[in-house]
Amino acid sequence: MSARQAAARFGVGVSSAIRWIARAKIGELAPRPQGRRRASSLDANEAFIVGLIEERKDITLNEMVERLAIEQSVQISRSALGAWLQGRGWTFKKSPLMHWSRSGPTS
């Protein structure tokens, strides 16, 4: 089957079918990643952010946003900072050991 016939059969562009056939001929059968990771304004400040976390392990996102604005002149939302941190493997989960109204630890 020609590339044009394959493109028509599978409903893709002719140029895509041609590229896929060329990749198959060299043995590259796995799909390539789609899209590009956009650069963030926080990438340039990664060392500063990691320093904030190392300095104080329980720092909040709001405190980090404030320090970034004051010390680095970077304006960013709390949710964007959280997504940026999560994308680099920094996750924070608050799990209190006991409820505020209890006097002893809960299970």
pLDDT per residue rounded down to tens, the chain (107 residues) = 888 998 999 999 999 999 988 999 999 988 888 887 778 888 999 999 999 999 998 889 999 999 999 999 999 999 999 999 998 888 766 665 655 665 655 55
Query: What is the value of pTM for the model shown?
Result: 0.55
User: Could you give the count of Cα atoms lying within 13 Å of 20 in the half-sphere of its Cβ?
Assistant: 14
